[in-house]
Structure 1
Amino acid sequence: MAALPSQADAVIIGLGGIVGASVAHHLIEQGWTNLVGLEKSALPSDIGSTAHASDFCFMTSHDRLGCYTTTYSQRFFAALGHYRKVGGLEVARVGDEARLAELQRKVASGKAFGTRVRMIDADEAVERFPLLDRAQVLGAMWDPDAGLVVPRSQQVAGELVERAVQSGHLRAFAETEALDIDVRDGRVQGVETTRGYVATPRVIVTSGIWGPIPAAMGGAALPLMPVEHPLLFFGPFTAFAGTGKEIGYPLMRDQGNSAYMRDTGDPSSTEGGQLEWGYYESCEPRLVPPRDILERHQARLSPSMRDLGLEQVETAFERAIELAPVLGELGWDEKHSFNGLLSVTPDGGSLVGEAPETRGLWLCEAVWVKDGPGMGKLLADWMTRGHPEVDPCGIDIARFYPVQKTPRHVVGRCEEIARKIYDPPVHPREPFESGRDLRRGPFWPREQALGGYFMEAAGWERAHGYAANETRLAGYLERVPERPVEWDARHFWRVSNAEQLALSDDVGMINLSHFAIFDIAGRDAEALLERLSVAKVGGNTPVGKGVYTHFLDAFGGVHSDLTIVRLGAEAWRVVCGGDTGHRDLMWMLRRAEEWELTHFQLEDRSDGLATLGLWGPNARRTLQALADDPAALDDTRFPFATAREIRVAGLPVWAFRISYVGEQGWELYVPASYGLALWDRLFDAGVVPVGIETYANSRRLEKSLRLQNVDLLTDYNLVEAGLARPRVKDAAFHGKPAYLEQRERNQQPATLCTLVMEEHHDSTGRPRFPVGQSPLLDPESGEVPVDALGRRSYTTSIAYGPSLGRNIALAYLPPEYAREGGSLLLEYFAEHYPMRVAAVGYRPLFDAENARPRG
């Protein structure tokens, strides 16, 4: 065995699985030449999840990035000669119309995100997978590109490591455990191993179910829990004897029973002559803390393969026999059946990126085999170029606030995610049951007393509407349409739209205490914010001036949208959305370090300040009636986009005149201890409490306002998003060269447009109110428009706008479709609805000042 080198450009901990091997492969492709890989077991690993994975690859999910990583991985496996494209079907059983509808929704997601899935009838399903009982099948989804990694992803991992070693750019060490990660002054310096110490500025953790252990060595909390996954084998099954195939039939998912099934091919092949049946426990999933996983010498099969008994799956197995009776006819291979361990996270997403706690500690965790090569490429691009091909906001480890990575929170959320791996279908607005009441602003007692309909975001409890308003605003409620289809109405409250109408007629207040607020001051504060921001926030920007701006990545992609207010000569307040706040914080701190801007202080004010939005045509009159100096609120003395300290009935309030709802008014910031007093004074003055639904969805879209990580992504630039400023500031800023090039194009590859649904009744006459992201289709060809960069058109946001009486959507469209008055179709649950392009680029559809619709 070669000696451990004294230095490496990066050390991979957990090299022997498909993820670690893929990371090494793609880093070398990107030009890395001095890598060290550590594996505590053999190479490839014989103890991790890769060693026993079912190796399924289905292409489609309701997640754009997931479709990207899976389709990339499928092509990668195929190029290596390790993929059998046998296809796959997902079945809906007779009587389970909800599952059939979910499959229709998944077909739409496939069209939106670039896969080839389609619906098939029961006869075709049985023809493709003859083991099904035709009487049990209602319909199915067919994925022609689904298949199996053969003979195993474990072998692929081994081959990738071998190639990397042969290239001379990776030195791999089996049976070598990382004992500690050397971190000094917040930076990785090296790794202590059972073979000695290797100095390195970067450590990449790809340890799968053990991931939290090495992450903790590096000072980072990794919110991940392993969960047991029953995997059973039945045989002998000889249908493919003599064929030499590793698999004969397509893959089959029975997600309504939280299960899947496949054959293992010719009895003479690697693991042939059986039927494999897997199950995800949807009632009481069994989480296993990483430190409780057995060591190799303690385990009967492998540390990641735990014993199981048939009683664990009894009910589900009985249902499985109903669908595929052959399972009941074959013998159970008790010796080789087991509970495999896989990783789940608090929101179901992978954990990728540089750890917020430690510079140089990179993570690529909670990744399925079907995504392994794709995630390896994404991380390699990120580490090499500073920019993955697809916006990583949904997998970036920095998306979690520290409070969301505490053990109790992680266990509760992971248990909930584990219950929903296959069943039931997860609604786009699905709230979590666990980890609630984590962050409650000072207004919460009043909101609860009003019957707040609470949802959660970034740990904050946010009321989307108030039951008390169902009586108070009964007249407005009559103007809000019913939603007769339960899916459209789920986790939505009609009173929210009534509250918006009342706000537009008079005045309302919205709890915005979920804002992430950072005060930055000091000698380098201006240099940092100017270099980050597209807009000018320093220089001669006056104290009290607020500026809506963006942070770009180096390639001109939109990383953040936020508001920055100058508080003093060397002081600014940065206000971010709650969901994006922690990523924005890390972006600021990491760029400051890279640019050696250290002379500033950053204070997180998010928990200490409470915020109320006060908006509506009577907002000024209402606030003046309570203000100690009413005249100071006149339009000429308090112009738009300015902020200053005022007194409201004696309370100290920092008032910022800005609006995200298209009505005049202010964001009112107070120390949390004054929050209830401010609420009570406004409520007693007749101000209607309005839920966050108006702010976040319905009025936002009536005003064609964009949302970061949904409508604004690093995949698109500010010109395409319709948010390019009239002039480019003289000062340099991050991403400026790319931004200048983008502005100079004769034509953008796509433009973010606002569309309205011209007719929203389905084939049975029921009005529909789409939720989630849906594909847009050319009315003539039925195909999804694709721009010159290969990006597909789908609704990034959609909501019903009560002031317009229309469903409104945002979508990026190629030039030939980005024309006002142009027509497209929206696919929603297998039906098509006509959409009209109402605005190209940024243009509000509702003019609040004149209270009339436009477009």
Structure 2
Amino acid sequence: MATLPTQADAVIIGQGGIVGASVAHHLLALGWTHLVGIDAAAIPTDAGSTAHASDFCYMTSHDRLSCYTTTYSQRFYEALGHYHRVGGLEIARVGDEARLDELKRKVASGKAFGTRAELIDADQAVARFPLLDRARVLGALWDPDAGLVVPRSQRVAGRLIEEAVAGGGLRTFADTPALDIDVQAGRVCGVETPKGRIATPLVILACGIWGPLPAALAGAALPLMPVEHPLLFFGPFDDFAGSGKEIGYPLLRDQGNSAYLRDTGDPRSTEGGQLEWGYYETREPRLVPPREILSRDQARLSPSMRDLSAEQIAAPFERALELTPRLAELGWDDKHSFNGLLSVTSDGGSLVGEAPEVRGLWCCEAVWVKDGPGMGKILADWLTHGRPELDPCGIDIARFYPVQKTPGHVLGRCREIARKIYDPPVHPREPFESGRDLRRGPFWPRERELGGYFMEAAGWERAHGYAANETRLAALLERVPERPVEWDGRHFWRVANAEQLAMSEGVGMINLSHFAIYDISGRDAEALLERLSVAKVGGDTAIGKGVYTHFLDAAGGVHSDLTIVRLAERAWRVICGGDTGHRDLIWLRRQAEAFGLSRWHLEDRSDGLATLGVWGPRARATLQALCDSPEALDAPRFPFAGAREIRLAGLPIWAFRISYVGEQGWELHVPFSYGLALWDRLFEAGVVPVGIETYANSRRLEKSLRLQNVDLLTDYNLYEAGLARPRVKAADFLGKAAYLEQRARAHQPATLCTLVMEAATDGAGRPRFPVGQSPLLDPESGEVPIDDLGRRSYTTSIAYGPSLGRHIALAYLPHGYAEEGRELLLEYFGEHYPMRVAAVGYRALYDPDSRRPRS
């Protein structure tokens, strides 16, 4: 028996699965040499999800990063000779036009993110998969690159591990659970096992359904829950007897029934000539806390394979027989059918990156087989180079605030995600039902009284519009177009556009209490913020001056956008968006450690300071009428980007003159205890409550303002985004070398442009209001423009701008396309709409000062 090493550069917990194997493979490929992999079960696993996974790989997704990891994984499996590119179908049944529309959306997302899905008719679908009842099929999506990992992903994991061990870079130990993860002074320093202790500065969790357990040993929380997934086998199925195939027909998704089907090829193949039918429960998914997963000696088949009852799947199976009658002719192998366990997370995304609670504890959790090698590459690149190729904001474990990782919140959100694994189609603006009313600012009672239409972000309840304004602003509402197609208007309230018009004609107030606000002070505070910020925020920056700036990564990618205000000689206020705030906080702390800066203090003011934006042509006059010193708000005395303490009707207010909506005005920061009083005084003065829709979407796009994690990403730079500073500051900052190299280019590979939709009527004569991200096409070739770095063009943001009366979008276009007047097409639900480039780089299309459009 091999002796457990006493030291390692990294320990992978959960080595036996496809994720752990992929992580080790990619780390070794990047030059790592002393890895130790441990697993509580066999290596490769005989207990984890990899051991029973269906091993499907569909390329289709509405998520850019998922398309990247899946297409990478498909190529990886294929290069190893372990992939059968048999293709995959997704079926829309007769009478389910909504599902057919969803397939059209998937085709568009494929074009946007680089997959090759296409829509086919019912006859073509049946020709590819003859087991279908033609009378039940409305249409289908065809994914030519979909296929099966063969003979099993478990075998691929075994091969990767064997090669890694043979190369000398990895040592593995089966039946070796982690008993404890030793954390000292907030950093990992070792792993305790029954066979001894391994000293290491780095632990990587790839434990799948067990992930929260070892994370808890280190004091970290993973918002993940295992869920049961019924999987049934029928046979004997001998259509491919003698073929030697692992699979004969394409993969089949029947997502309107939340189910899938595949054959297992030749009876002599790995799975022995059967039909495999899987189902995801949509009403009451059975979540299984990780601590309740059976041990190997207790489980009938495997800890991740639980017993299944026929009653559990009775209704969906009846529907399956309608679509594929052949199932009724075959016997059900009840002894080998089971409930497989798979991981779901509280927002549906994977959990990758360094845990916020502990340095050196990295995660690669909640990853499907189809993404395993791709996620392994992302983690290896991140650990080795400091960043992956694509912005990992959607999978970064640091995206969650601590309150979003409490057990009750995780349970409710994971249950919702489990219901939506396959069905129904998830709208881009789909809100959660559970975990609501978690964070409510002081204005919330008044917003509720006004009939606020609340949506949630980062735990905060945010009103996107107010029902009371439907009467109050009835005349303005008549200027707002109806949205006759339900999908376009879902989770949108027309009154929001009327509220924007009211603000532009007078004065409005917007609740911005979701801001993440960090006050930073101390001897090293200036050095830290200067080392992180592209703009100068220290030096001779005046006290009371605010600066819009960005944090870059070492490669010059845009990691954060935020505003920093100097409060005193050694004190600053850092204001971040709610969605990005916790990730920015972790970035600040980790970079301070990397810079060797420790003499600074951070006070999190997010839950104590409420923010109310007051904007519009009458903003100054309205506030002066309430201000104890009205002259203090005169433009010469209170310049743009200035901040100071004022008193409004006696209330202490920290006022910051800035605008994300273009209109003149201020952000008013007030302690929660004064919040209601401030709201009431402004409301009595005639200030119109305006929903966050105006701030976050419609007016933002009229002003061509960018949003972090949507329009601003680490795989694009500030010059491409049109936000580079006129001059480069003298002080060094993270990413400066890359920033200077980007500045020296003759031109950028791509530029973020503002586009307008020239016509928005579909083939049925209905006005459309696109939501979500859609591909842009060259009108002549019909192809998506691709820049020199292989990045594809799609709408990063899109909204209808009521002040402009146009649909406005942002999109990165290759250098040759980034020119005003350039015509493109937007694909939305299978139809094409003409688009025109109205601005290259940052230029607003609407100027509130002149009250007229620029384009």
Per the normalisation by structure 1, the TM-score is 1.00
- Residue-by-residue CA offset, 1:170-212 (whole Å, 9 max, x unaligned): 0111111110000000000000011100100000000000000
Task: Write the distance in 2 (CA, Å) between the matches of 1:583 and 1:607.
Answer: 16
Task: Write the distance in 1 (CA, Å) between the matches of 2:396 and 2:792.
Answer: 23
Task: Write the distance in 1 (CA, Å) between the matches of 2:204 and 2:753.
Answer: 40
1:699-778 aligned within 5 A = 699-778=699-778
Secondary structure at the counterpart of residue 510 of structure 1: strand
- Residue-by-residue CA offset, 1:631-670 (whole Å, 9 max, x unaligned): 0000000000010000000000000000000000000000
Task: Write the distance in 2 (CA, Å) between the matches of 1:270 and 1:368.
Answer: 21
Task: State the match for 2:550 in structure 1.
Answer: 550
- Residue-by-residue CA offset, 1:360-392 (whole Å, 9 max, x unaligned): 000000000000000000000000000100100
Task: Write the distance in 2 (CA, Å) between the matches of 1:81 and 1:449.
Answer: 63
Task: State the match for 1:184 in structure 2.
Answer: 184
Task: State the match for 1:245 in structure 2.
Answer: 245
Task: Write the distance in 2 (CA, Å) between the matches of 1:60 and 1:581.
Answer: 30
Task: State the match for 1:531 in structure 2.
Answer: 531
Task: State the match for 2:323 in structure 1.
Answer: 323
- Residue-by-residue CA offset, 1:243-280 (whole Å, 9 max, x unaligned): 00000000000000000000000001111210000000
Task: Write the distance in 2 (CA, Å) between the matches of 1:815 and 1:390.
Answer: 20
1:594 aligns with 2:594: yes
Task: State the match for 2:478 in structure 1.
Answer: 478
Task: State the match for 1:617 in structure 2.
Answer: 617
Task: State the match for 2:651 in structure 1.
Answer: 651
Amino acid corresponding to residue 705 of structure 1 in structure 2:
L
Q: CA deviation at 1:218?
A: 1.1
Q: Post-superposition, which runs of at least 4 consecutive aligned residues in structure 1 deviate over 3 A? A: none
Task: Write the distance in 2 (CA, Å) between the matches of 1:570 and 1:340.
Answer: 56
Task: State the match for 1:371 in structure 2.
Answer: 371
Secondary structure at the counterpart of residue 578 of structure 2: coil
Task: Write the distance in 2 (CA, Å) between the matches of 1:180 and 1:783.
Answer: 53
Task: State the match for 2:405 in structure 1.
Answer: 405
Q: CA deviation at 1:169?
A: 0.5
Q: CA deviation at 1:93?
A: 0.1
Amino acid corresponding to residue 641 of structure 1 in structure 2:
A
Task: State the match for 2:92 in structure 1.
Answer: 92
1:444-523 aligned within 5 A = 444-523=444-523
Task: Write the distance in 2 (CA, Å) between the matches of 1:33 and 1:84.
Answer: 32
Task: State the match for 2:46 in structure 1.
Answer: 46
Q: CA deviation at 1:8?
A: 0.4
Amino acid corresponding to residue 621 of structure 1 in structure 2:
A
Secondary structure at the counterpart of residue 179 of structure 2: strand
Tell me the percent identity. 81
Q: CA deviation at 1:747?
A: 1.0
- Residue-by-residue CA offset, 1:686-743 (whole Å, 9 max, x unaligned): 0000000000000000000000000000010000000001000000000000000001
Task: State the match for 1:161 in structure 2.
Answer: 161
Task: Write the distance in 2 (CA, Å) between the matches of 1:406 and 1:446.
Answer: 28
Task: Write the distance in 1 (CA, Å) between the matches of 2:671 and 2:686.
Answer: 23
Secondary structure at the counterpart of residue 297 of structure 1: coil
Secondary structure at the counterpart of residue 696 of structure 2: helix
Amino acid corresponding to residue 751 of structure 2 in structure 1:
T
Task: Write the distance in 1 (CA, Å) between the matches of 2:42 and 2:516.
Answer: 46
Q: CA deviation at 1:60?
A: 1.2
RMSD: 0.3
Task: State the match for 2:274 in structure 1.
Answer: 274
Task: State the match for 2:258 in structure 1.
Answer: 258
Task: State the match for 1:198 in structure 2.
Answer: 198
Secondary structure at the counterpart of residue 297 of structure 2: helix
Secondary structure at the counterpart of residue 654 of structure 2: strand
Secondary structure at the counterpart of residue 481 of structure 1: coil
Task: State the match for 2:836 in structure 1.
Answer: 836
Task: Write the distance in 2 (CA, Å) between the matches of 1:850 and 1:725.
Answer: 26
Secondary structure at the counterpart of residue 620 of structure 2: helix
Task: Write the distance in 2 (CA, Å) between the matches of 1:594 and 1:161.
Answer: 33
1:130-141 aligned within 5 A = 130-141=130-141
Q: CA deviation at 1:834?
A: 0.1
Amino acid corresponding to residue 737 of structure 2 in structure 1:
P
Secondary structure at the counterpart of residue 586 of structure 1: helix
Task: State the match for 1:342 in structure 2.
Answer: 342
Task: State the match for 2:298 in structure 1.
Answer: 298
Amino acid corresponding to residue 470 of structure 2 in structure 1:
E
Amino acid corresponding to residue 460 of structure 2 in structure 1:
W
**Structure 1: unaligned runs, 5 residues or longer:** none
Task: Write the distance in 2 (CA, Å) between the matches of 1:813 and 1:654.
Answer: 40
Q: CA deviation at 1:331?
A: 0.6
User: What is the number of residues matched between the two proteins?
Assistant: 855
Q: CA deviation at 1:328?
A: 1.1
1:432 aligns with 2:432: yes
Q: CA deviation at 1:111?
A: 0.1
Task: Write the distance in 2 (CA, Å) between the matches of 1:390 and 1:724.
Answer: 21
Task: Write the distance in 1 (CA, Å) between the matches of 2:817 and 2:661.
Answer: 28
1:90-129 aligned within 5 A = 90-129=90-129
Q: CA deviation at 1:442?
A: 0.3
- Residue-by-residue CA offset, 1:445-487 (whole Å, 9 max, x unaligned): 0000000000000000000000000000001000000000000
Secondary structure at the counterpart of residue 434 of structure 1: coil
Secondary structure at the counterpart of residue 579 of structure 1: helix
Task: Write the distance in 2 (CA, Å) between the matches of 1:696 and 1:762.
Answer: 26
Task: State the match for 1:70 in structure 2.
Answer: 70
Task: State the match for 2:33 in structure 1.
Answer: 33
Task: Write the distance in 2 (CA, Å) between the matches of 1:97 and 1:413.
Answer: 28
Secondary structure at the counterpart of residue 403 of structure 1: helix
Amino acid corresponding to residue 750 of structure 1 in structure 2:
A
Task: Write the distance in 2 (CA, Å) between the matches of 1:207 and 1:822.
Answer: 50
Amino acid corresponding to residue 157 of structure 2 in structure 1:
A
- Residue-by-residue CA offset, 1:201-235 (whole Å, 9 max, x unaligned): 00000000000000011110011000000000000
Task: State the match for 1:679 in structure 2.
Answer: 679
Q: CA deviation at 1:29?
A: 0.5
Task: Write the distance in 2 (CA, Å) between the matches of 1:309 and 1:264.
Answer: 23
Task: State the match for 1:234 in structure 2.
Answer: 234
Amino acid corresponding to residue 285 of structure 2 in structure 1:
P
Amino acid corresponding to residue 99 of structure 2 in structure 1:
R
Task: Write the distance in 2 (CA, Å) between the matches of 1:602 and 1:752.
Answer: 34
Task: Write the distance in 2 (CA, Å) between the matches of 1:272 and 1:756.
Answer: 56
Secondary structure at the counterpart of residue 26 of structure 1: helix
Task: Write the distance in 1 (CA, Å) between the matches of 2:296 and 2:854.
Answer: 68
Secondary structure at the counterpart of residue 653 of structure 1: strand
- Residue-by-residue CA offset, 1:464-514 (whole Å, 9 max, x unaligned): 000000000001000000000000000000000000000000000000000
Amino acid corresponding to residue 361 of structure 1 in structure 2:
L
Amino acid corresponding to residue 125 of structure 1 in structure 2:
A
1:345-364 aligned within 5 A = 345-364=345-364
Task: State the match for 2:2 in structure 1.
Answer: 2
Q: CA deviation at 1:596?
A: 1.1
Task: Write the distance in 2 (CA, Å) between the matches of 1:808 and 1:177.
Answer: 54
1:818 aligns with 2:818: yes
Amino acid corresponding to residue 517 of structure 2 in structure 1:
I
**Structure 2: unaligned runs, 5 residues or longer:** none
Task: Write the distance in 2 (CA, Å) between the matches of 1:70 and 1:272.
Answer: 27
- Residue-by-residue CA offset, 1:301-335 (whole Å, 9 max, x unaligned): 00000000111000000000000000111110000
Amino acid corresponding to residue 272 of structure 2 in structure 1:
G
Q: CA deviation at 1:594?
A: 1.1
Task: Write the distance in 1 (CA, Å) between the matches of 2:763 and 2:53.
Answer: 43
Task: Write the distance in 2 (CA, Å) between the matches of 1:626 and 1:110.
Answer: 54
Task: Write the distance in 1 (CA, Å) between the matches of 2:486 and 2:54.
Answer: 35
Secondary structure at the counterpart of residue 298 of structure 1: coil
Q: CA deviation at 1:616?
A: 0.2
1:540 aligns with 2:540: yes
- Residue-by-residue CA offset, 1:384-439 (whole Å, 9 max, x unaligned): 00010010000000000000000000000000000000000000000000000000
Amino acid corresponding to residue 287 of structure 2 in structure 1:
L
